[in-house]
Amino acid sequence: MSEALPFEEVYWPDKERYLEYYKKSVYDIERFWDERARELIWLKYWDRVLDDSNPPFYRWFVGGVTNININALDKWYGTSVENKVAYYWVGEPGDRRAVTYGDLYREVNRLAWALRELVGVKPGEGVTIYLPMIPELPISMLAVTRIGAFHSVVFSGFSAAALAERIVDAKSRILITADGFYRRGRIIELKKIADEAVRLAAERGVKVEKVIVVRRARVEVPWSEGRDLWYHELLNEAPPKAYVKPEPRQATDVLFILYTSGTTGKPKGIMHSVGGYMTYVYNVFKWNWDPRPDDIFWTAADIGWITGHTYIVYGPLMHGMTQIMYEGAPDYPNPGRIWSLVEEYGVTTFYTSPTMLRLLMKYGDKWLEGRDFSRLRLLGTVGEPINPEVWKWYYTKVGRERAPIVDTWWQTETGAAMISPAPGIALVPLKPGSATYPLPGIVADVLRDDGRPAEPGEKGLLVIKKPWPGMLMGIWGDPKRYIKTYWERFSKPEEGVWIYYPADYAVKDKDGYFWLLGRADEVMNVAGHRLGTIELEDAVLMHPAVSEAAVVGFPDPVKGEVPVALVVLKEGYEPSPKLEEEIKAKVREVIGPIAVPKRVLFVNKLPKTRSGKIMRRIILRLARGQDPGDVTTLEDPASVDEVKKALENLKS
Ligand code: WT7
């Protein structure tokens, strides 16, 4: 094992050098990104770096042709990277696999061949992938993009109804899933859930024609002859040395869609582009993690979210990284699981969410003490604001004060990190809890409600003032919602001013550091995952006993916030623990386990305006123990006391 290097020697903070690089990058963003994109392999270079003739539908690298497989896989074939491990995979029960770049290349080619020749997947069509954390997940994503189709990966913790919703929206004919997988020592029978989703999708007029099933848990599965196909049998039918030429794709084609929650009940299919996403992710990965050939890189997240797409699949593969990929729960069979893997594999770069850190911190330091973490040189966080207390714990106990913390602010929509330290360029001095400065090419600011810039230290709304290659192309099938959600808040189209609005509160301090302070819309951040308030309320309302529902995010020491439902029952129903459980089960069924409310509280009245709008803001304030504010516009101010009382039950 290599000698530990104190971080001052590896990453001497140099703010001036970073800011100099940054200033050059934003002086002429088109030129900057033009140069950055040339670091990748293209089949044809672009005619225009940025087409901004139809804002906010920006198009990057127009006329450019490529396929991300060329930069993530084919580029390594025949080089020394071919025999390098891409994924050290660890199953929850302890089974292991080492998948090299050569293995990936061969299996992706065979699967691509089978998908095209046997299953009939066409370029430009969408394939839904519902897989757990097994190597077949990145392999499927690459095979799909190799033949010019796009993927829609659905997190394996989502329910049948949630999967069906996404299949219907994307109109997928093809679904890739698994028999089951391990979670906390149990087998989750994924194929059964997938079958139910296929049935629900058919009811809504979308017929899934083929279901490809990876054998992972070796459980018995229901089988529909003619529709269902075993993944391993498909591979066996492909020629052992199958080679499928990566389908040439326009830079402005869709690489994938990924659903995320918004302020309505319907999830948004965020579309990412072939050329822009590839360019942005390649570069940001380099800036964030300063990759080196001997690194062992671990993003402890699920590929079902954007973090995994960017930092487990495309980013690391484009840099030839060796990674850890773990199937199961972070604290199973004991709270030392993550740390023992970090030690055993000599992880150099570890990236996870504050929620995970708070969970592991809660178990106490004994799970960390005495471990050899001497190879760790960079630590990252993503998904939520990290409280300084947790930051310091991460820095001292995990990083042993040698590894800088890379706090990365970004979103599903942004493709990769936007505001974060960039040790791959020059590290700026860190402040616990701040994501520091925008990355090169990113023009960020904090505005007041009225659109004027906030003062240093004043809380306002984060905005991005220039397009960037990793930006979403739009919302699948809903261009109006794209404009309304992200661009209407601060843009002035008459003046040609277009400003991207992420819906996050932020402060810029006197040194220009950004501090991200959480969501500014009706979206919760539960354990680093976005959940829409309305989406949750819709699920609660599906229970036949519920007449009205309001869901708010209640502060939680581990998960940041957790949903709590306030429910008014219909005539003839009585509050009971059984009913509470039933309503929770409903949410589990409609969305999935991540969305289940911590509590369902029964009240006689919700605080509403005279026009009948539920005042969630008031409930939210009460939940956070704050003064409810102005309640005079309420239909019945007494409802506030009732909500207050119900919430008090919660604390005990
Ligand atoms: C929202 C995006 C980006 C991958 C994981 C989440 C919050 C994200 C940070 C951070 C404070 C953060 C924001 C953002 N968020 N990173 N470093 N500090 N807040 O992706 O589900 O699209 O959620 O997560 O509120 O808008 P997502």
Of residues 641 and 286, the one with the higher pLDDT is 286
Residue 458 lies in domain: 444-517
Residue 425 token pair: 């360029």
For residue 105, is it within any domain?
Answer: yes
109 and 231 in a single domain? The answer is yes
Question: Does residue 525 have its Cβ closer than 6 Å to ligand 1?
Answer: yes
Name the closest-CA residue to atom 10, ligand 1: 409
Measured from the Cβ of residue 627, the count of other Cβ atoms closer than 10 Å reads 8
CATH number, residue 638: 3.30.300.30
**What's the CA-to-centroid distance between 522 and ligand 1, angstroms?**
14
**Which DSSP state fits 494?**
G
117 and 242 in a single domain? The answer is yes
Cα Rg for the chain, rounded, in angstroms?
Answer: 24
**Contact between 169 and 477 (Cβ < 8 Å):** yes
Question: Which atom of ligand 1 lies closest to the CA of 409?
Answer: 17
CATH number, residue 139: 3.40.50.980
Distance between CA 44 and CA 63 in Å, rounded? Answer: 8
542 and 638 in a single domain? The answer is yes
Within 467-558, residue ranges assigned H as helices are: 479-486, 533-541
**Angle between helix 101-114 and 136-146 (nearest 10):** 60
**What's the CA-to-centroid distance between 229 and ligand 1, angstroms?**
37
152 and 238 in a single domain? The answer is yes
Distances (CA, A) of 401 to 288, 387, 434, 495: 18, 17, 17, 49
Q: Which residues pair with 526 in a beta bridge?
A: 529, 560
Residue 546: is it exposed, middle or buried by C-beta count within 10 angstroms (0-12/13-18/19+)? Answer: buried
Question: Does residue 92 have its Cβ closer than 6 Å to ligand 1?
Answer: no
In one-letter notation, the amino acid at residue 221 is: V
Residue 32 token pair: 């900057």
Distance between CA 615 and CA 333 in Å, rounded? Answer: 43
513 and 534 in a single domain? The answer is no
578-625 tens-digit pLDDT: 999 999 999 999 999 999 999 999 999 999 887 778 888 888 888 888
**What's the CA-to-centroid distance between 307 and ligand 1, angstroms?**
10
Q: In this structure, what are the phi and psi dihedrals at residue 218, rounded to the nearest 5 degrees?
A: 55, 40
362-389 tens-digit pLDDT: 999 999 999 999 999 999 999 999 999 9
Distance between CA 376 and CA 364 in Å, rounded? Answer: 20
Question: Does residue 145 have its Cβ closer than 6 Å to ligand 1?
Answer: no
For residue 540, is it within any domain?
Answer: yes
Distance between CA 223 and CA 115 in Å, rounded? Answer: 20
Compute CA 420 distance to the chain's CA centroid, rounded to the nearest angstrom. 16
For residue 257, is it within any domain?
Answer: no
Domain boundary among 224, 247, 270: 247
Domain boundary among 492, 517, 542: 517
Measured from the Cβ of residue 80, the count of other Cβ atoms closer than 10 Å reads 10
**Contact between 202 and 208 (Cβ < 8 Å):** yes
Compute the C-alpha angle 398/401/402, nearest 5°. Answer: 95
Q: What mean pLDDT value characterizes the chain?
A: 95
Q: Which helix (H) or strand (E) holds 407?
A: strand 405-408
236 and 142 in a single domain? The answer is yes
In one-letter notation, the amino acid at residue 116 is: R
Name the closest-CA residue to atom 12, ligand 1: 384
Instruction: Specify the number of domains making up the chain.
Output: 3
Whether the predicted pLDDT of 146 surpasses 70: yes
Question: Which atom of ligand 1 lies closest to the CA of 408?
Answer: 17
**What's the CA-to-centroid distance between 289 and ligand 1, angstroms?**
18
For residue 343, is it within any domain?
Answer: no
**What's the CA-to-centroid distance between 356 and ligand 1, angstroms?**
14
Question: Does residue 260 have its Cβ closer than 6 Å to ligand 1?
Answer: yes
Mean pLDDT calculated for residue range 514-531: 91
**What's the CA-to-centroid distance between 472 and ligand 1, angstroms?**
15
Question: Does residue 393 have its Cβ closer than 6 Å to ligand 1?
Answer: no
Provide the percentage of residues in the chain whose pLDDT is more than 90. 87
549 and 460 in a single domain? The answer is no
79-109 tens-digit pLDDT: 999 999 999 999 999 999 999 999 999 999 9
**What's the CA-to-centroid distance between 570 and ligand 1, angstroms?**
37
What SS3 class is residue 379?
strand
For residue 130, is it within any domain?
Answer: yes
Question: Does residue 435 have its Cβ closer than 6 Å to ligand 1?
Answer: yes
Whether the predicted pLDDT of 302 surpasses 90: yes
536 and 450 in a single domain? The answer is no
**Contact between 221 and 194 (Cβ < 8 Å):** no
The residue to mutate among 411, 489, 514, having the most atoms of ligand 1 within 8 angstroms of its beta carbon, is 411
The residue to mutate among 260, 463, 516, having the most atoms of ligand 1 within 8 angstroms of its beta carbon, is 516
What SS3 class is residue 555?
strand
Residue 186 token pair: 């149990």
Whether the predicted pLDDT of 6 surpasses 70: no
Name the closest-CA residue to atom 20, ligand 1: 411
pLDDT value at position 620?
86
Residue from 128, 17, 71, 140 nearest 281 by CA: 71
Whether the predicted pLDDT of 3 surpasses 70: no
For residue 12, is it within any domain?
Answer: no
Name the closest-CA residue to atom 2, ligand 1: 411
What SS3 class is residue 581?
helix
558 and 631 in a single domain? The answer is yes
Domain boundary among 490, 517, 544: 517
Question: Does residue 410 have its Cβ closer than 6 Å to ligand 1?
Answer: yes
128 and 210 in a single domain? The answer is yes
Question: Does residue 529 have its Cβ closer than 6 Å to ligand 1?
Answer: yes
CATH number, residue 496: 2.30.38.10
pLDDT value at position 648?
86
For residue 36, is it within any domain?
Answer: no
570 and 489 in a single domain? The answer is no
17-68 tens-digit pLDDT: 999 999 999 999 999 999 999 999 999 999 999 999 999 999 999 999 999 9
**What's the CA-to-centroid distance between 578 and ligand 1, angstroms?**
35
> Do the strands 349-352 and 322-326 form a parallel or antiparallel pair, or are they unpaired?
unpaired
118 and 239 in a single domain? The answer is yes
464-486 tens-digit pLDDT: 999 999 999 999 999 999 999 99
Question: Does residue 412 have its Cβ closer than 6 Å to ligand 1?
Answer: yes
For residue 586, is it within any domain?
Answer: yes
Residue 125 token pair: 């069509």
**What's the CA-to-centroid distance between 414 and ligand 1, angstroms?**
10
pLDDT value at position 652?
55
**What's the CA-to-centroid distance between 638 and ligand 1, angstroms?**
36
Measured from the Cβ of residue 549, the count of other Cβ atoms closer than 10 Å reads 22
Name the closest-CA residue to atom 27, ligand 1: 411
The residue to mutate among 504, 529, 559, 594, having the most atoms of ligand 1 within 8 angstroms of its beta carbon, is 504
**What's the CA-to-centroid distance between 371 and ligand 1, angstroms?**
30
Q: Which residues pair with 381 in a beta bridge?
A: 352, 407
